[in-house]
Amino acid sequence: MQFISRQKKLGPHSQTEIYGQLVQFYGQPPLENISLSEFETFAVERLKLLKSVENLGVSYVKLSEQYNNKLHHELKNLNFPYKSETEDRKSQTGPSEHEKRRKDHISHFILRLAYCQTEDLRRWFIQQEVDLFRYRFTDLPPEQKLELLQKNNLQYHAISAEEKKALSGKLVHSSYGGSGIKVEDQDFYKVPFQDALDLVRARKVYLKAGYVYIPQQDIVTIVLNDFRTRLSKALALTARSLPAVHSDERLQPLLNHLSHAYVGQDYSIQKNVGKISLEQIDSLSGKSFPLCMRQLHQNLRENHHLRHGGRMQYGLFLKGIGLSLEQALQFWRSEFIRGKVDADKFDKAYAYSIRHMFGKEGKRTDYTPYSCMKVILSNPPSQGDHHGCPFRHSDPELLKQKLQFYKVSPSGISQILELVKGMHYQLACQKYFELTHNIEDTTFSLNHPNQYFIESQKVLGGGKDIKRETDTPQRSQENSGRGSTAAREAAAAAANAPQHLAEITEDLDSFFQDA
Amino acid sequence: MPCSDYDPASLPDLLPLYYRRLFPFSQYYRWLNYGGVQKNYFQNREFSFTLKDDIYVRYQSFTTQNELEKEMQKMNPYKIDIGAIYSHRPNQHNTVKSGTFQALEKELVFDIDMTDYDDVRSCCSAADICSKCWTLMTIAIRILDRALREDFGFQHLLWVYSGRRGVHCWVCDEAARKLSVAARSAVAEYLSLVKGGEETVKKVMLTEPIHPFIRESLVVVERYFPRYALQDQDILGRKESVDKVLALVPEDVRKDLQQDFQNEKKPETRWKLVKDQASKKQATAKKFQHFEKEIMLQYCYPRLDVNVSKGVNHLLKSPFSVHPKTGRISVPINLKELDTFDPFAVPTISLICEELDRPRPGEEEEKSEETKEKENEKDAAERWKIRDYKRTSLAKYVKHFDQFLDGMARAWKGELLRKSDLQKEF
């Protein structure tokens, strides 16, 4: 394995160098021997950490106080480094700071192996690692920030006082409002806009002739950008050396399981293909579809058309609940030809993309239904679109009207709107589920429109409908009552050294279904 | 002028003539070859053709201008799209190992389509346009052109009429062509202000402080708003359209304005009432209030199709392609004449083909010239083609394209010099 083979080349003192700081750029791979059990524990715990980072990022505004507190808590619980050394010395229990930093380091590299394989995995991993890094970097005291930047050769040059004066009017109007820091008191750094994309995207920086002028307080963006670029390159390199790692039969199954864990259940396995008839869809859409799909269905029936984003979101959902390719083609055709599209045009322009969804065209990937996260975060609806998450992408006033129309009680509506206001879109949807299914507390944590459907069918159909569903979600039901307990058990199991691998990975599966 | 006489059924007869005698191949090649600064730049570019009956052929590529010419004259595509520059020749994409065939570079492109404005224009809907709503495209070009040049520092922007209901922008600077997907999406989002689909009423939300980019854009919008929105679209005239505007103001203000509007019918005065309410609100309310600006932006601000700009491998209709429905040629727009640009005056394929057949003063003279040059036939054919388009209404658009290319040539000349200097050093 690569960790071992390189060990002899470098002296052991390079390690203390690496662990000298709380936050790392992960420039050096770990060079020591580690036991298989440690390998597993580290990997599982980092994955749990990254899962938390992802979940917190959806539920809270990043870097808000709540977000920071929760993430801080999470780091502490999972024994990852989280505060400056001095603070840690006070507490005598638990692993030492050095051990935590070592774990941080090694676990990051293990997950690189698991997450370098596909574009999707890389994107997810980079996103979570970047968010984690952002939190930790922001949390550092200023002098440590500077030290970190210096050690990693990241130095920026501030613009001159004259230049600053000439631009001051523009600079004032370009950075965060109400921060109270005056332009005169602050250094500004001029860098190419490509190095600060997050600030450009959000229009939080002054941009002129291809250069951005970044105030000292926002320097983290360039650092993050750099971190992201390095990580992305490193993953591409790791992917190339992967065959060597995969030849190790001890690691390969574990790595595969780790990488499958991030999406949770993907609802693409169709054991119930063809069990749903097209006539059922109208009534199912009222009873068991989440609001996003109900909205798409309704608009499709009304306008006999959906734009691309809507067709993808709704089409894959329908595939997930069990429509066969033939049914899907029939469903879309019969609706579209009632509108402006004739049968010939449908076959030429739309049938392809439906077959594509089912993996019958193009690169023949069997596409998986969109998760809540994907619906909420990617490809927001624009003019003419009906897709997206109604809790995220509707005006509160319209959402309210819609909920009233669907006969949700006034108190229920205000509860939902409160959750929406706090940006808890998935919780709002879950509340909607509870209200429309007349149950007090749902025992699952909603993260997928198809999960909503399955759970709804369970509630409504009693035993009858459940049998139709896939096996795995059923298992998640068994586990769901003890959600976090299962997680802890999985972690504990992984921590116990000579556990059989199959058991560990199975526990992992159940953990990530609940997560 | 018979320009409106285009009949889609005649397209198969006209296209061969167009590709044989009128399409500006040499300029087209000059553009996409980018001075030959980078090796295989033209060879690895994807073209895609739409043929008769919507047959779609992707991953076409050509090694030389001559090959491109021959192929287009053979296939006579109804529509031509331009894609990315790939790691390998696109027409051989099946022969390379999967995963290694990758889109590397492309111009940064923007696509603005009038259908995206359907909720704020009352004159037309869907694919229809008129001179009233065309102002929206003028505003879009003004705002984006300024921002891409001044904010992002790009210089080589080619604006093109799509042939039907929208405009495209090709940012051809080297730096733009090399942008990553993340950078493209950041640029597109920086430029997007109108957000939300059918489930969102208020689509523009400003926050404090107003970014210089938005201020600059507002300057443009304010210039066109009274004429375009208040007069041409009459957004404060009929009751339904008034209600749509009032849905965008805070509730208390809405009631006041509804009252005021009872006694005041003139749109300009009504708009003044809205503005007065806004400044009143700004003076008193603690919360940031700029609903009058938000209304103007929602009605006039450019609506980009972000997905087109994001992807490196996204295809976009090529300049000088024919729009099969309208027959109009997709022509570059000269920004110096932007305010008088009339999409309905853009020549159709039937018009320019007809112009070719018209006798012209000085015709004889040229004919005798032609006989002199008969020995060098290929050369003569080349010259003829150049003269041919010059005899049609296409000429001024090709001329503008030439000027655009001259500007870029100056840039790549510098680049070539720099490269040869570097070589000498070693």
Contact check, Cβ <8 Å, B116/A382: yes
Chain B CB within 8 Å of residue A360 CB: no
3-class DSSP assignment, residue B328: strand
Closest-CA residue of chain B to A195: B183
Q: Check residue B401 and give its pLDDT.
A: 97
Contact check, Cβ <8 Å, A203/B213: yes
3-class DSSP assignment, residue B171: strand
Contact check, Cβ <8 Å, A206/B197: no
Interface test with A, best of B59, B78, B199 (most A CBs within 10 A): B199
Residues in chain A with CB shorter than 8 Å from the CB of B197 are: 380-388, 393
Which of B69, B81, B107, B113 is the catalytic position? B113
Residues in chain B with CB shorter than 8 Å from the CB of A393 are: 196-197, 199-200
Contact check, Cβ <8 Å, B212/A299: no
Confidence of residue B383 (pLDDT cuts 50, 70, 90): low
Residues in chain A with CB shorter than 8 Å from the CB of B112 are: none
Closest CA of chain B from A194, distance in Å: 6
Q: CA B50 to CA B191: how far, in whole Å?
A: 31
List pLDDT tens digits, range B246-302: 999 999 899 999 999 999 999 999 999 999 999 998 888 777 789 999 999 999 999
Q: Check residue B380 and give its pLDDT.
A: 60
Closest-CA residue of chain A to B192: A201
A429 known member of a binding site? yes
Question: At a CB cut-off of 8 Å and minimum separation 6, what does A232 contact?
Answer: A122, A126
Confidence of residue B162 (pLDDT cuts 50, 70, 90): very high
List pLDDT tens digits, range A385-440: 999 999 999 998 899 999 999 999 999 999 999 999 888 898 899 999 999 999 88
Q: CA A249 to CA A36: how far, in whole Å?
A: 12
For B44, the token pair is 């690895």
Which of B304, B151, B301, B142 has the alpha carbon at shortest distance from A205? B151
Interface test with A, best of B198, B299, B312 (most A CBs within 10 A): B198
Q: CA B392 to CA B156: how far, in whole Å?
A: 27
A372 known member of a binding site? yes
Q: CA B137 to CA B56: how far, in whole Å?
A: 29
Chain B CB within 8 Å of residue A265 CB: no
Chain B CB within 8 Å of residue A412 CB: no
Residues in chain B with CB shorter than 8 Å from the CB of A384 are: 115-116, 118, 197-198
Closest-CA residue of chain B to A118: B99
A116 known member of a binding site? no
Instruction: Please check whether residue A448 is in contact with residue A293, taking contact to mean a CB–CB distance below 8 angstroms.
Output: no
Which of B69, B81, B107, B111 is the catalytic position? B111
Residues comprising chain B, all counted: 426
Interface test with A, best of B177, B203, B211 (most A CBs within 10 A): B211
Which of B107, B83, B24, B34 has the alpha carbon at shortest distance from B408? B34
Q: CA A293 to CA A381: how far, in whole Å?
A: 14
Name the burial class of residue A411, with classes exposed (0-12), middle (13-18) and buried (19+) by CB atoms within 10 angstroms of its CB: exposed
Which of A140, A210, A216 has the alpha carbon at shortest distance from A185? A216
Nearest to A395 among B117, B179, B199 (CB): B199
Contact check, Cβ <8 Å, A211/B153: yes
For A24, the token pair is 């790392």
Residues in chain B with CB shorter than 8 Å from the CB of A173 are: 209-212, 215
Q: Check residue B320 and give its pLDDT.
A: 97
B46 counts as catalytic = yes
Instruction: Please check whether residue A386 is in contact with residue A368, taking contact to mean a CB–CB distance below 8 angstroms.
Output: no
Q: Check residue A495 and give its pLDDT.
A: 39
Q: CA A187 to CA A205: how far, in whole Å?
A: 14
Residues in chain A with CB shorter than 8 Å from the CB of B207 are: 177
Q: CA B389 to CA B352: how far, in whole Å?
A: 8
* E strand or H helix that includes residue A190: strand A188-192
Q: Which residues of B lie closer than 8 Å to A, measured between beta carbons?
A: 53-54, 115-119, 150-154, 175, 179-180, 182-183, 185-187, 189-190, 194-202, 207-215, 303, 305-307
Nearest to A177 among B195, B202, B208 (CB): B208
Which of B205, B234, B190 has the alpha carbon at shortest distance from B297? B205
Closest-CA residue of chain B to A345: B54
Q: Check residue A383 and give its pLDDT.
A: 86
- CA torsion, ordered B81, B87, B90, B94, to nearest 10 deg: -140
List pLDDT tens digits, range B223-260: 999 999 999 999 999 999 999 999 999 998 999 999 99
Residues in chain B with CB shorter than 8 Å from the CB of A397 are: 201
Question: At a CB cut-off of 8 Å and minimum separation 6, what does A186 contact?
Answer: A215, A216, A217
For B257, the token pair is 């304005």
Q: Residue type for A250, please? A: R
- Phi-psi domain of B33 (left: phi exceeds 0; alpha: psi -120 through 50; beta: other): alpha
Q: Residue type for B91, please? A: N
Q: CA A370 to CA A462: how far, in whole Å?
A: 26
List pLDDT tens digits, range B133-153: 999 999 999 999 999 999 999
What number of other Cβ atoms are within 10 A of residue B308's Cβ?
18
Contact check, Cβ <8 Å, A381/B185: no
Which of B62, B83, B59, B28 has the alpha carbon at shortest distance from B319? B28
Residues in chain A with CB shorter than 8 Å from the CB of B193 are: none
Instruction: Please check whether residue A382 is in contact with residue B116, taking contact to mean a CB–CB distance below 8 angstroms.
Output: yes
For B261, the token pair is 């509007």
Residues in chain A with CB shorter than 8 Å from the CB of B306 are: 382
Q: CA B367 to CA B379: how far, in whole Å?
A: 15
Instruction: Please check whether residue A67 is in contact with residue A60, taking contact to mean a CB–CB distance below 8 angstroms.
Output: yes
Kind of pairing between the strands at A206-208 and B55-60: unpaired
Whether B369 shows a pLDDT value over 70: the answer reads no
Q: CA A370 to CA A359: how far, in whole Å?
A: 15
For B323, the token pair is 């729009």
Give the A:B interface size as CB pairs under 8 Å.
Answer: 114
- List all residues of chain A from 191 to 250 with a beta carbon under 8 Å from chain B: 193-194, 197-198, 200-203, 206-211
Closest-CA residue of chain B to A401: B199
Which of A85, A83, A126 has the alpha carbon at shortest distance from A108? A126
Q: CA B137 to CA B117: how far, in whole Å?
A: 10
Domain definitions of chain A by residue range: 154-223, 279-461
Question: At a CB cut-off of 8 Å and minimum separation 6, what does B379 contact?
Answer: B373
Regions of chain A with pLDDT less than 50: 1-13, 85-86, 88, 178, 463-515
Count the alpha carbons within 13 Å of A57 in the hemisphere toward its beta carbon.
18
Q: Check residue A97 and give its pLDDT.
A: 84
Mean pLDDT rounded to a whole number for chain B: 90
Q: Which residue has the tokens 């927001």?
A: A380
DSSP secondary structure letters along B109-140: EEEEEGGGGGGG-SS--TT---HHHHHHHHHH
- For chain A, what is the total number of helices (H) and then of strands (E)? 29, 3
Interface test with B, best of A303, A379, A382 (most B CBs within 10 A): A382
Instruction: Please check whether residue B156 is in contact with residue B408, taking contact to mean a CB–CB distance below 8 angstroms.
Output: yes
Closest-CA residue of chain A to B149: A209
Q: Which residue has the tokens 């299914």?
A: A437
Write down the pTM of the prediction. 0.80
> What is the pLDDT averaged over residues B117-122?
91
Which of B108, B63, B52 has the alpha carbon at shortest distance from B82? B108
Closest CA of chain B from A42, distance in Å: 31
Q: CA B269 to CA B281: how far, in whole Å?
A: 18
Q: Check residue A270 and give its pLDDT.
A: 61
Nearest to B118 among A383, A390, A394 (CB): A383
B342 counts as catalytic = no
Q: CA B80 to CA B317: how far, in whole Å?
A: 6
Q: Which residues pair with A451 in a beta bridge?
A: none
Closest CA of chain B from A413, distance in Å: 17
* Cis? peptide before B209, omega within 30° of 0: yes
* ipTM confidence: 0.90
Question: At a CB cut-off of 8 Å and minimum separation 6, what does B299 contact?
Answer: B120, B225, B229, B233, B235
What would you report as the CA-atom Rg of chain B, rounded to the nearest whole angstrom?
Answer: 25
Q: Please calculate the CA angle A250-A513-A130 and round it to the nearest 5 degrees.
A: 75
Nearest to A380 among B53, B195, B212 (CB): B195
Nearest to B190 among A201, A380, A386 (CB): A201
Q: Check residue A269 and give its pLDDT.
A: 61
Q: Residue type for A2, please? A: Q
Q: CA A331 to CA A328: how far, in whole Å?
A: 5
B379 counts as catalytic = no
Whether B308 shows a pLDDT value over 90: the answer reads yes
Q: Please calculate the CA angle A20-A25-A31 and round it to the nearest 5 degrees.
A: 70
* E strand or H helix that includes residue A372: helix A372-377
- Phi-psi domain of B36 (left: phi exceeds 0; alpha: psi -120 through 50; beta: other): left
Instruction: Please check whether residue B110 is in contact with residue B189, taking contact to mean a CB–CB distance below 8 angstroms.
Output: no
Question: At a CB cut-off of 8 Å and minimum separation 6, what does B390 contact?
Answer: B398
Which of A284, A451, A473 has the alpha carbon at shortest distance from A369? A451
Instruction: Please check whether residue A375 is in contact with residue A408, taking contact to mean a CB–CB distance below 8 angstroms.
Output: no
Kind of pairing between the strands at B55-60 and B103-105: unpaired
Nearest to A173 among B119, B196, B212 (CB): B212
A292 known member of a binding site? yes
